[in-house]
Chains A and B, each alone.
Chain A
Amino acid sequence: MSMAVDGRRRGSLAIGAVRRDFAPWADPAATPFIRFERVTKRYGDVVAVADLSLDIFEREFFCLLGPSGCGKTTLMRMLAGFEAASEGRIVLAGQDLSGVPPYRRPVNMMFQSYALFPHMSVERNIAFGLEQDRLPKAEIAERVVEMLRLVQLEPFARRRPAQLSGGQRQRVALARALAKRPKVLLLDEPLGALDKKLREETQFELMDLQVKLGMTFLVVTHDQEEAMTMADRIAVMDHGRIVQVATPGEIYEQPASRYVAEFIGDVNILEGKVSEAGEGRCTLAVADAPAPVSIAGVAEPLEPGREVALALRPEKLVLTHEAPPAGTPNVFAGTVWDIGYLGDWTIYLVRLASGRTLRVSRANATRFVERPLSWDDEVFVHFAPEAGVVLTR
């Protein structure tokens, strides 16, 4: 919450990509659509979800992100009704879901394995949920056609799932889950089984679909790129707890802890001690740095002497051949230890005098470089005071 306050205080400065006029989580008057209230799930002695509270708002594209075994799937399965919470309750649109069986919940799920019924055609798969509601035949047929059009699978209506490609199956699963127009669509690793190119396309399709249908999407994923691309907000989970809930931009630029900083994207973490602290800024003594490091935009108050970690994103470090002009803050000297050329980016591993290696990345904005950096070059790395993030956890 402190992050949202901080964002507003800085006025015109914004973090990450911004979806205009959609931030119900920052509005104290908004009522949450889904509430997890102190939910705990135990399997024998193993705690899968530990005293977790979370609010998700209507029309939100929400991602649960974490490594396998962090409890994200369990949380989703509790919302779907396949698992019962050991403690706490889940409320959806004002209704307490405790004791409501999965077949009476107004949510639908897209399964990781897709779980298409192999003995039914694509059409019948999509119609299945509507048939359970005993809708008139004509209406079912109409909705099936509408869904097939939505996922562009009209020519495949009579095929069996086994006769479809992986991408097509994924769309059938999506259409089947959407057909009943659920209040919330749950997606369990929706893109996990697709190859990279298709995954990227589908990410944008899902985002379009979600806006178009005005539905609330809850996605479980272990892929941070997927979460960053699609979500309005991300909850990063670890060992059954939520470590941080924020927009993708805040998660990346203002991580709440070392765990989050290291889980999302690449980061250099340096150990340091606060030597001087002021309003929103501080100076750190860092063993790997020749001079005190000054940091601006500090989110929480710090007292001198406190042990902290300094997180530096590789793309926010500036790499030069010549020494930066005198008076430039936060300069490190080192040698180029290794270079990884990725096409769009180049990664440089710079070895500092202390023996520590810093990861620096540079966008290859031009095709030709006048003085390319090479192995063993003597170089300088510096960064702006706003580029570093001080982590106390």
Chain B
Amino acid sequence: MNRRFGFFDATALTLGFAFLYLPILILVVYSFNASRLVTVWGGFSTQWYVSLLQNEQLLQAAWISLRVAFLSAAVATVLGTLAALALVRYGRYPGRTLFTGMVYAPLVMPEVITGLSLLLLFVAVDFDRGFWTVVLAHTTFTMCFVTVVVQARLVDFDRSLEEAAMDLGCPPLKTFFTITLPLIAPSVLAGFLLAFTLSLDDLVIASFTSGPGATTLPMRIYSQVRLGVTPEINAVCTILVALVTIGVIIASLATKRSAVARQ
């Protein structure tokens, strides 16, 4: 590992990062553009952030998105953690492979299919589409991410800690809440934040399952962009990027800290 950081590495790294982040950087820069024209730089200004605060439609969409993200992430965290427990803890039981496959399916399923199938379901059971259908749909597709994160932690969880608690007179359910949960909490939090940001981002599934009065922020942005990109959109997107970045950073810090604490 004592190789020097050469010219080739530096170039590869720069190009790689540029490929990934240049578009986002341009978006962020143009959100501070004084000009009305998106492609012409007219000096630094925060006016689009100010006018954003007066854009009722966008603000409402953002509020819906946040509520959807919070609710669906909360439910997905509970369900995902339980699924992870079932996968790691109950050894071999009939249907385990099927269950594993079903938990992980949304991870690889094209979003269009998830969205469409959920739409068909809601129509079939005559469930009025709106806020709650989006929450349900997001719970379904983010749950598996929580499961993956929590499962990774549970696999190397020292079972003798739980046995020690029970040996000292602690019943199983109480053991879960006083020993297991506090110790896996960082990964549960990471799962929650991951689910939250995924829900905040989602356009496809929300478009399929949403109804009148429940337009999420990505849906609103997408419909506005079709009429032309305004600097206001750039400002919203910049805020969204910042939120998602913070979420991901906290999630990875939480997992890392718990990994260090375990050593």
Contact = CB atoms under 8 A, between A and B. Distances in A.
Contacts of B164: 109, 111, 115-117, 176
A368 B167 CA distance: 56
A388 to B, nearest CB: 45
B167 A103 contact: yes
Interface stretch (A126-134, A258-266, A333-341, A344-352): A126-134
Given A113-B158, A113-B160, A118 B183 contact: yes
Interface stretch (B49-57, B105-113, B168-176, B197-205): B168-176
A249 to B, nearest CB: 33
B169 A115 contact: no
B182 interface: yes
A118 B169 contact: no
A167 interface: no
A302 B8 CA distance: 85
Given A118-B261, A119-B183, A133 B163 contact: no
A251 B196 CA distance: 65
Interface string B220-253: 0000000000000000000000000000000000
Contacts of B179: 117
B160 A111 contact: yes
A309 interface: no
Given A101-B171, A133-B169, 5 more contacts: A103-B166, A118-B183, A119-B182, A176-B164, A180-B169
B154 to A, nearest CB: 15
Contacts of B166: 81, 101-103
Given A115-B160, A119-B182, A109 B262 contact: no
A129 B158 contact: no
6 contacts: A107-B167, A108-B167, A113-B160, A117-B165, A119-B182, A177-B167
Chain B interface mostly helix, strand, loop or mixed? helix
A162 B183 CA distance: 14
B261 A128 contact: no
B160 A118 contact: no
B18 interface: no
B120 interface: no
Contacts of B182: 119
A82 interface: yes
B169 to A, nearest CB: 4
B29 interface: no
B130 to A, nearest CB: 42
A113 B171 CA distance: 21
Residue of B161, B164, B179 with highest tally of chain A CB at under 10 A: B164
Contacts of A180: 168-169
A132 B160 contact: no
Interface string A150-183: 0000000000001000000000000011001000
Contacts of A82: 163
Nearest to B168: A129
Contact of A111 (B163, B183, B262): B163
Interface of A: 80-82, 101-105, 107-109, 111-113, 115-119, 128-129, 132-133, 162, 176-177, 180
Nearest to B169: A132
Interface residues of B, number: 18
B167 A102 contact: yes
A279 to B, nearest CB: 52
A115 B161 contact: yes
Contacts of A103: 166-172
B158 A128 contact: no
A41 to B, nearest CB: 17
B158 A115 contact: yes
Contacts of B261: 118, 162
B163 A128 contact: no
B63 to A, nearest CB: 37
A129 B169 contact: yes
A128 B165 contact: yes
A102 B158 contact: no
Contacts of A104: 169
A109 B172 CA distance: 17
A121 B192 CA distance: 28
A111 B164 CA distance: 7
Contact of A176 (B158, B168, B262): B168
B169 A109 contact: no
B160 A108 contact: no
A105 B166 CA distance: 10
Contacts of B158: 113, 115
B168 A108 contact: yes
Nearest to B260: A162
Contacts of A132: 168-170
A103 B202 CA distance: 46
A274 B166 CA distance: 56
- Ranked 3 nearest A-B pairs via Cβ: A129-B168, A132-B169, A115-B164
* Central interface residue in A102, A105, A111, A119, by most chain B CB within 10 Å: A102
A128 B160 contact: no
A104 B179 CA distance: 18
A118 B182 CA distance: 10
A103 B168 CA distance: 6
A81 B163 CA distance: 10
A128 B175 CA distance: 11
The CB with the most chain A CB atoms within 10 A, among B158, B163, B171, B183, is that of B163
B170 to A, nearest CB: 5
